[in-house]
């Protein structure tokens, strides 16, 4: 049980910290979330207050704890085949006309615990069986990336996976893993996970035919959103597609993109 109260001043400090690191703007409504997610870390370090724990984070003496705090405050819920119209568009509009001689490269840029990346990989394995393809999945949180790479999820998460894909690309856990599903090893091997902070200069990861940047920009203020999309656009090939969350829009954010449908954009050639 958390015995410490989070003052408005302390909350303001954490809001500034997470904005500086991740570009995320926490609304005042997120105060209970910050309080709840960091409570165990105060107990772990025997910090007398959230302010004391904040000083520990910014001291520079505990980089691993700073990463832990960032992980706790930036992890978002996701699930397989979330917002299915994007997967329908990929299957019906993009893949049928794809040149099978070229490698189809996809970047899941805010992949959280990996369900989005594995959903994409299932579709590519199904519809480009004899063509080369790659999926890069990235997130700011090292903790969720470890979970994603393991590819183990509660069995109830299977409800969103089409039955044919579930039987082909997922394994039902037995013994110690009973109650879980695991992504098949051959599919896991096709997805590469990498820690990337979209709020910083991007590493050398090449260019992509399709970038998924879904359900992360709702946490960015307008200047941060413009900067992040500006960093990603050079990584999108001419005529490549960019998907954002259904509740998100890039109208007025940057040029060089044409809206094909709500939340689906194509880069000018």
| List 15, 71, 105, 139, catalytic entry | 139
Catalytic residue among 37, 143, 147, 182: 37
**Both tokens assigned to 233:** 């656009």
Is residue 139 flagged as an active site residue? yes
Is residue 157 packed enough to be buried (19+ CB in 10 Å), middle (13-18) or exposed (0-12)? Answer: middle
- Dist CA 70 CA 17 (whole Å): 9
Contact indicator for 212, 86 with CB cutoff of 8 Å: yes
Do 74 and 24 touch, CB atoms closer than 8 A? yes
For residues 134 and 101, give the distance between their C-alpha atoms in angstroms, rounded to a whole number.
13
Q: Which long-range contacts (CB under 8 A, 24 or more apart) does 29-33 make?
A: 31/6, 33/73
Q: What residues contact 97, with CB distance under 8 A and at least 6 apart?
A: none
214 is catalytic: no
Which residues are marked as active site?
A: 37, 139
């Amino acid at each position: 049980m958390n015995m410490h109260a989070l003052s408005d001043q302390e909350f303001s400090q954490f809001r500034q910290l997470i904005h500086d690191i991740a570009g995320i703007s926490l609304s005042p409504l997120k105060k209970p979330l910050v309080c709840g997610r960091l409570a165990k870390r105060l107990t772990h370090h025997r910090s007398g207050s959230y302010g004391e724990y904040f000083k520990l984070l910014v001291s520079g003496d505990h980089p691993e704890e700073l990463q832990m705090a960032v992980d706790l405050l930036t992890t978002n819920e996701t699930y397989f085949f979330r917002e299915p119209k994007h997967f329908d568009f990929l299957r019906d509009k993009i893949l049928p006309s794809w040149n099978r001689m070229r490698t189809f490269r996809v970047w899941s840029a805010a992949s959280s615990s990996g369900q989005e990346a594995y959903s994409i990989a299932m579709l590519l394995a199904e519809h480009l069986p004899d063509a080369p393809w790659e999926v890069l999945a990235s997130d700011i949180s090292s903790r969720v990336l470890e979970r994603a790479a393991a590819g183990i999820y509660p069995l109830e998460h299977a409800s969103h996976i089409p039955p044919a894909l579930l039987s082909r690309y997922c394994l039902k856990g037995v013994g110690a893993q009973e109650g879980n599903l695991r992504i098949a090893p051959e599919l896991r091997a096709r997805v590469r996970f990498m820690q990337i902070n979209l709020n910083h200069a991007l590493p050398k990861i090449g260019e992509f035919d399709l970038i998924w940047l879904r359900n992360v920009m709702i946490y960015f203020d307008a200047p941060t959103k413009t900067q992040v999309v500006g960093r990603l656009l050079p990584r999108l090939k001419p005529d490549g597609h960019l998907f954002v969350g259904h509740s998100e829009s890039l109208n007025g954010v940057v040029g060089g993109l044409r809206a094909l449908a709500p939340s689906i954009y194509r880069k000018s050639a």
